[in-house]
């Protein structure tokens, strides 16, 4: 068995003074332990405050932008979590070893790494239904304290009630607005401000990195993650409220009193990845079942670890959403129509729901260009097919040895004995 302690080794040793610690492998035969070095909730909160301050700063040095982003340590934390998740999936799939994951409590870092490793291992969790199931299983059912970590419905400094108390889970003020706007503070309060930390948002950032690098393997796109990250703190839906299943089901009656976030996300067509290819279809499209270097035979998504870690980038759609400086390239008007509009009649027009603006992301430019190129290819394929059908009809109609060469839609040049006759 492989034991992965997600804490830094120094933190694990320090916990011994409080009666905790870590496994002594001399007591467990054929077991090895590794420390992953992932920071605790306080380190995550500090890093998020730094990345938020940087993205919202009007005086940040753009020449040293990449260096400033790395100095916040937010990207390095993302890499640590992705690395631990990849190693977990690697030991399970290639070494056929059971893996034991744990940290201090088991509902923050453990939930992150466990869920991400399952995304690598099982194609089902890369679908919309499977991803929702994964969150409900590894975060909600295993006790991730959404209210305590997010401070839902409490203003900064409020101490009214125990963290996670039901009386404070229904409103959408205070911390929800700060989080939704990517403010300079994490949340805005909570019964114990020391317990506030964007753990779930960090998990979504890790998923974004995988989706951004391998979009064809996911049924949902980065817009899905962006909208989900906003409603973690909006308190508009009850799906991600409260700390425990008992609070949600028994005390607050969340399912009976609030709307479901998953139903809302499933109702939006623009959150679906049109280029998604399931594992079975992927095998059919490959060269006679030839193994793909990334996609395993069982639907496992295992890329080289350096490829994954070296391409980690800032989630600009989320962190720079309300920044004072332009970070994302402006989209040409005609390309925007391809991304947010529907073809109607002779031209295209932008179709936007009455209650919201068009949902756009950085990948829309590439997706729009690809969509437009594919439509051009399909158009010319249809033109060529119609011309070939016309040639077959003319040849079958007794044209004989005459050769018909189509010039355009209106004219045709018939070559007969070296003479050109225009019809």
Catalytic amino acids?
103
Cα–Cα distance, 155 to 318 (Å, whole number): 22
Rounded to 10 degrees, the C-alpha dihedral 139/143/146/148 comes to -150
Contact 200, 144 (CB under 8 A): yes
Strand partners, 33: 3
**Cβ-based neighbour number of residue 46 at 10 Å:** 16
Cα–Cα distance, 190 to 178 (Å, whole number): 13
Percent helix, strand, coil in the chain, to 5, is 50, 10, 40
- CA proximity to 238, closest of 170, 174, 153, 168: 170
Concatenate the DSSP letters of all residues of 218-260 into one string: -SB-HHHHHHHHHHHHH-SSSTT-SSSHHIIIIIS-HHHHS--
Contact 327, 320 (CB under 8 A): yes
- Residues contacting residue 117 through CB under 8 Å, at least 6 positions apart: 85, 86, 88, 89, 92, 99
Cα–Cα distance, 339 to 369 (Å, whole number): 9
SS3 157: coil
Structure tokens at 85: 């998740």
Contact 333, 368 (CB under 8 A): no
356 sits in which H/E element? none
**Cβ-based neighbour number of residue 183 at 10 Å:** 17
């Amino acid at each position: 068995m492989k034991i992965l302690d997600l804490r830094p080794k120094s933190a694990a040793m320090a916990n011994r003074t409080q009666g905790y610690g870590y496994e002594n492998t001399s007591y467990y035969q054929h077991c090895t332990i590794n420390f992953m070095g992932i920071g605790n909730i306080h380190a995550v909160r500090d890093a998020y405050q730094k990345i938020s301050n940087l993205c919202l700063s009007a005086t940040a040095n753009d020449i040293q932008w990449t260096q400033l982003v790395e100095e916040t340590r937010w990207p390095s934390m993302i890499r640590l979590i992705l690395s631990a998740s990849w190693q977990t999936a690697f030991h399970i799939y290639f070494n056929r070893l059971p893996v034991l994951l744990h940290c201090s409590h088991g509902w923050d870092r453990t939930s992150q790494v466990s869920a991400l490793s399952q995304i690598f291992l099982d194609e089902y969790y890369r679908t919309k239904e499977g991803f929702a199931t994964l969150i409900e299983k590894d975060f909600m059912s295993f006790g991730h304290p959404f209210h305590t970590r997010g401070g839902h419905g409490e203003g900064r400094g409020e101490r009214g009630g125990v963290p996670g108390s039901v009386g404070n889970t229904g409103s959408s003020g205070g911390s929800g607005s700060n989080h939704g706007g990517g403010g300079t503070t994490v949340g805005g309060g909570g019964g114990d401000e020391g317990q506030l930390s964007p753990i779930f948002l960090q998990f979504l950032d890790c998923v974004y990195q995988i989706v951004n690098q391998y979009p064809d393997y996911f049924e949902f796109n980065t817009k899905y993650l962006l909208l989900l990250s906003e409603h973690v703190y909006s308190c508009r839906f009850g799906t991600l409220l409260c700390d425990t299943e008992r609070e949600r089901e028994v005390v607050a009656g969340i399912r009976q009193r609030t709307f479901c976030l998953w139903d809302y996300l499933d109702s939006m067509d623009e959150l679906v990845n049109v280029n998604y290819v399931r594992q079975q279809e992927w095998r059919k499209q490959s060269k006679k079942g030839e193994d793909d270097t990334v996609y395993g035979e069982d639907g496992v998504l295992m890329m080289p670890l350096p490829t994954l870690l070296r391409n980690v980038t800032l989630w600009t759609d989320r962190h720079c959403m309300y920044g004072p400086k332009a970070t994302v390239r402006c989209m040409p008007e005609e390309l925007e129509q391809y991304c947010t509009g529907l073809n109607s009649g002779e031209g295209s027009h932008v179709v936007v729901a009455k209650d919201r603006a068009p949902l756009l992301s950085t990948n829309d430019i590439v997706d729009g260009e690809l969509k437009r190129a594919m439509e051009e290819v399909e158009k010319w394929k249809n033109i060529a097919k119609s011309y070939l059908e016309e040639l077959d009809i003319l040849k079958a109609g007794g044209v004989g040895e005459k050769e018909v060469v189509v010039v355009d839609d209106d004219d045709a040049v018939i070559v007969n004995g070296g003479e050109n006759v225009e019809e």
